[in-house]
Structure 1
């Protein structure tokens, strides 16, 4: 399928900028996009015109207020409802909690996360909000697939998740990381899941129950 090169570069630029807390110089952005600095300059100027990026001290490019406004329009009711639920789940389990939504029929994207308030050691899960990954990999994606009607092509993991009401995987998205997730239906979405991810093993039975409870809460809140 043919792409609009300028639009593709602009969207890639936004993604790259969003992952840099300190912002990027034009030279750094051009290098990561593998384009000339002059082209990077025009991309940034265009994004600035729409308030999607801004240049602050030392002319480092960061996300602008327009990006925040756009993000706030993505299922605000669900996201607002999910924040306290994820915080409660993260603290109860002692592991990072995430809300993930389906993106098409092959990928999913974590859209919100919460870390436990108590210290959990030096190792954290390298799980980035907004970064897509295959639905068929990771507990959160498999939990979403399990929401669908049974299909002969379903993997064993999806079948088990549908029967149990939750999925559990280890090492699929990050070496040593274990995830437990439960899917739920939400209006306007192809599917969603809530789950926890930690380095090392998790107490499956206890945590699975808490994850399923959180998913049930979000399903009810998203339709209220």
Structure 2
């Protein structure tokens, strides 16, 4: 593995977690390199428009990342957009599309808020969490065969068709998710909602399942 590339990518990841930006010294400390090395890495990333300096000379992400990110899962995002919009409006809850990355992680690919929502759930695209944590990952695990020692919530999700977790990804927020069916049977994405009120789970679960199936049909 290239240590230089590794540190450069770490800088981008750290900056994504600090939208107000960081100084070069703060970046160096966060990544674990000397300030001179951090300065050199930042200059290289600046040359490719992957980061920039704001009016306070703090380092923030650059617009070059937009063109890099645009082709990622473009077909999936294009097809999922209307489905998530309808799900958010129907349930009046934050709707999200998660994709599995590797064996152990889930990443938020899209997050949609209902129009006119007074309260927003702090959940953003790109956010990651373990597959064993949160309704999106459990929904995918439930889509597969029973595994020895699996969480009871996974077993229950397999029976219900949707997974429910409370406060696992965001404190005080209930997640309800269903796996998006795939033609080959190996689901790698889930659709879900995040709500503060965990009443009416059966109705919300059925709505989420219907949305996941609709996206699965579009992807066929």
| Structure 1 residues 42 and 81, CA gap change in structure 2 (3 angstroms) | same
Secondary structure of 1:201's counterpart equals: coil
Structure 1 residue 8 displacement after superposition:
2.4
What residue number does 2:216 align with? Answer: 219
Structure 1 residue 186 displacement after superposition:
4.8
**Which of 44, 50, 58 matches 2:42?**
44
Structure 1 residue 190 displacement after superposition:
5.9
Structure 1 residue 70 displacement after superposition:
2.0
1:199 has 2:170 as partner = no
Q: CA RMSD in A?
A: 2.3
What residue number does 2:152 align with? Answer: 156
**1:10-89 correspondence runs (5 A):** 10-89=8-87
Secondary structure of 1:150's counterpart equals: coil
List alignment gaps of at least 5 residues for structure 1: none
Secondary structure of 1:59's counterpart equals: coil
**TM norm structure 2:** 0.88
How many angstroms apart in 2 are the aligned matches of 1:185 and 1:30? 43
Structure 1 residue 72 displacement after superposition:
1.2
Secondary structure of 1:146's counterpart equals: helix
User: Are 1:101 and 1:193, in contact at CA under 8 Å, matched by a contact in 2?
Assistant: yes
List alignment gaps of at least 5 residues for structure 2: none
Aligned residues: 219
1:172 has 2:148 as partner = no
User: Are 2:15 and 2:21, in contact at CA under 8 Å, matched by a contact in 1?
Assistant: yes
**TM norm structure 1:** 0.86
User: Are 2:11 and 2:31, in contact at CA under 8 Å, matched by a contact in 1?
Assistant: yes
User: Are 2:179 and 2:187, in contact at CA under 8 Å, matched by a contact in 1?
Assistant: no
Secondary structure of 2:213's counterpart equals: helix
User: Are 1:103 and 1:190, in contact at CA under 8 Å, matched by a contact in 2?
Assistant: no
